[in-house]
A and B are shown apart, each in its own frame.
Chain A
Amino acid sequence: MDNILVAKNVSKSYGNYTALSSISLNIPKNCIYGLLGPNGAGKTSFIRIINQITHPDTGEILFNGEPLAPQHISYIGYLPEERGLYKSMKVGEQALYLAQLKGLSKAEAKKRLKYWFDRLDIGDWWNKKIQELSKGMAQKIQFIVTVLHEPKLLIFDEPFSGFDPINANIIKDEILQLKEKGTSIIFSTHRMESVEELCEYIALIHKSEKILDGKLSEIKKAYKNNVFNVGLEIQQDVDALMGNLNKNYNILSSSFDGGENQLDFRVQLPSSHTAGILAELSSMANVNRFEETIPSANDIFIQTVNNKDNDR
């Protein structure tokens, strides 16, 4: 069994509004899976279905090979995007309560909480009330409560919102460590920077439909379009050289720095074979840069969404 979660043709609508239309996903074990999409695409609806907060109209979800059932709740940890805590309750009491709701015994919950509080260096908050804490501090508590019952599947919906960069880094490291320990993680966001860093797999959801999914590195490979960035240090006349190049190649853009005699251009090649052009360029000038442009997750995201919208 390689997948922690399998969704088969899951659909959900609210009245006339379709939140998810026939989504199928395989989420492999022990990886970080990015669930991407613009606001309102249906990510949260899908996550709520996994958490059994709502139920799909049609379709099926398998958790670890079994149809999703109430007892799976204790194997899932969920940090929602809309998150908060009881304001007038003490930190420790509240964490204990939430941990017990996930099925931990009181003693076990206490032990683990102590470990985590020490680990994130917040041991002295135990008797504070939430309303005395800052937003970032409360987020730390929420993170602890989410992971405390050592779930097999963790779902983070925009986990870094509300954190300052330092704490965001601490949380990111914790997420990576959890993955090392064998936890599978679904990571939902519309911020692409963190996706590049963390996710091995992604699925892109747009207007209630899945439009792309797979291993991030493979997707990137598939989205390569043989565009190369080239830098030449030239001696001869730049216009003649450019004229020559334009005859043989599809130059997308170029710029010339006269002071440094540096010519930079982007070129679209018919295939990924680079030997020919490299040999030709080397014979003309000194090549100081030659790199393939690999699309960022952000590019892929924007490109796919736009293509999809143009199709309609």
Chain B
Amino acid sequence: MIGKLGLIIKREYLAKVRNRSFIVMTILSPLLIVGMIVLIAYLTKINDNEKRVISILNESAFFHQEFKPTEQISYIHLDGIDLEEAKDSINSMGYYGLLYLPYGKDAETVAKSAYLYTKDNPNTQMTQHLEGIIQRRLRQGRLEKLGVSQDQFSQVEQPFEINLATFDGEKSVKGINEIKAFIGGGFGYAIMMFIIIYGGFVMRSVIEEKTSRIIEVIISSVKPFQLMLGKIIGTSLAGITQFTIWLISASLLLFLAVMLFGIDLGSMANNTNMPPGAMNEMSQLATMDSEMMTYAREILDIPWGLLIVSFFIYFVLGYLIYSSIYAAIGAAVDNETDTQQFIFPIILPLMLAIYVGFFSVFSNPHGPIAVGFSLFPLTSPIVMLMRLPGGIGEGGVPLWQLLVSIGLLIITFLGIVSLAAKIYRVGILMYGKKPTYKELIKWLRY
């Protein structure tokens, strides 16, 4: 019996691996993905290099020291021309904008009647940056009136960040939960992609056996369940082969791309979420260093062993559950177009798991929603993996939750596989009927 299962697995594997479109996808996908990354990095780089020029027509006696060039913005100070002339020349020179500060008796009046002229609607970051500069000057002025000196003002302006620690007294840092959930989410996302891609392969392969009418020949030699299992295992081995090839070739290509084009991947991630005004906090390099240390330590502290073992468990069980449903669907229909009505309900819990994971688990990894979804068997493979980087036990996932989650998954696995096998067994010999859910439920009782 084991020998036959082995034969089926081998055939399914070879049939998949030798398939021309499979080979093309295996080779092409890493190229496409790395190509995309390089393209995005390249475009981001071009975008970043564009330095915006703001010209300033300042007729007042104030704000002459405030505008200092940054990486993104440089300033040109105009003098001795009137506003209309300035507008015309700025427009023809192709500068980004004109900041007009009219004459006024004090900074407040000047600020009130200040204008930023741009060709199109100005970019929000830019406006915020300029507003920030003016506001800082105004605040300084107002405080001076109240008798606060410039020195005192800059002392007051020292930014503040709260210190973070866990109850054990360990120093913790901002965003570490997100990073951890992101790592777990990566694993969960991989499971989802694997299920959708290779579950679909299983389904198509069942449909192919049905439409080519070979099915009855085969199940006169082996049990339908063996065939289904062999198909699922063979296809997933092909999938693992493909994933491994993708992983290796994509990282090689990425490495090459980084070497060749000198793309700074880190800058891509950083630039986007830099809060406005963060520039002037850069001076605190010392604290940054220790923060980096903390991040590194936290990431090393992620229980990688636990994570990888659980990934394996959740991957195998989750994949088996879903792909046996896919196999049952394949058996129930005559052609692929009939599968739509059945596929949507399968993908739904997967999507839900990903969304719940990214919205709820990120912000509160151990909240009730995260716990619920990490116990519910159809979503637990994804959601639990997002929670697990926090470790188990105190401060992480309570052990009982992990055990209950895996237990429920195993029970569901046994239940679903036997139901799917029943539908499969009946379905593969049914032709010419467009099945309904009612029909499928009837098949369960045959």
Contacts and interface: CB of A to CB of B under 8 A. Distances in A.
B99 interface: no
Interface in A68-111: 70, 73, 76, 78-80, 82-89, 97-98, 100-102
Contacts of B434: none
22 contacts: A15-B442, A53-B220, A70-B223, A73-B221, A78-B217, A79-B217, A80-B213, A80-B217, A80-B220, A82-B431, A83-B213, A83-B214, A84-B212, A84-B213, A84-B214, A85-B217, A87-B208, A89-B15, A97-B11, A98-B217, A101-B7, A101-B222
Interface in A47-64: 48, 51-53
A52 B222 CA distance: 9
Interface string B175-209: 00000000000000000000000000000000011
B230 to A, nearest CB: 10
Nearest to A145: B217
B400 to A, nearest CB: 42
Interface of B: 4, 7-8, 11, 15, 19, 208-209, 212-214, 216-224, 429, 431, 442, 445-446
A78 B212 contact: no
Contacts of A80: 213, 216-217, 220
Nearest to A85: B214
A114 B222 CA distance: 24
A84 to B, nearest CB: 3
Given A15-B442, A89-B15, A101-B4, A83 B216 contact: yes
A11 to B, nearest CB: 14
Nearest to A106: B7
A89 to B, nearest CB: 7
A214 B320 CA distance: 50
Contacts of B431: 82
Given A76-B220, A98-B218, A86 B212 contact: yes
B421 to A, nearest CB: 14
Contact of A100 (B7, B19, B429): B7
A101 B218 CA distance: 8
A16 B15 CA distance: 40
A212 B107 CA distance: 113
A142 interface: yes
A178 B11 CA distance: 30
Contacts of B218: 98, 101
Nearest to A84: B213
Contacts, number: 63
Contacts of A87: 208, 212
B180 to A, nearest CB: 45
A85 B221 contact: no
A46 to B, nearest CB: 14
Nearest to B445: A15
Contact of B220 (A15, A78, A85, A97): A78
B7 A97 contact: yes
Nearest to B209: A86
B217 A86 contact: no
B221 A88 contact: no
Contacts of A100: 7
Contact of B446 (A14, A48, A82, A84): A14
A70 B223 CA distance: 9
B225 to A, nearest CB: 12
Contact of A101 (B209, B221, B224, B429): B221
Smallest CB-CB A-B distances: 10 pairs: A84-B213, A80-B216, A101-B221, A84-B212, A78-B220, A51-B220, A84-B214, A82-B213, A102-B221, A53-B219
Given A86-B209, A97-B7, 19 more contacts: A14-B446, A53-B429, A70-B223, A73-B220, A78-B217, A79-B217, A80-B213, A80-B220, A82-B213, A82-B216, A82-B431, A83-B216, A84-B213, A85-B212, A87-B208, A98-B217, A100-B7, A101-B4, A145-B217
Given A53-B429, A100-B7, A86 B15 contact: yes
A53 B221 CA distance: 9
Contacts of B19: 88
Nearest to A79: B217
A289 to B, nearest CB: 49
Contacts of A52: 220
Contacts of A14: 446
Contact of B216 (A53, A76, A88): A53
B15 A88 contact: yes
A102 B219 CA distance: 10
Contact of A98 (B221, B223, B224, B445): B221
Nearest to A48: B429
Interface string A138-155: 000010010000000000
- Residue picked from B8, B208, B217, most chain A C-beta under 10 Å: B217
Contacts of B15: 86, 88-89
A14 B443 CA distance: 8
Given A53-B219, A53-B220, A53-B429, A86 B446 contact: no
Contacts of A51: 220
A48 B425 CA distance: 12
A127 to B, nearest CB: 14
A67 to B, nearest CB: 18
Contacts of A89: 15
Contacts of B217: 78-80, 83-85, 98, 142, 145
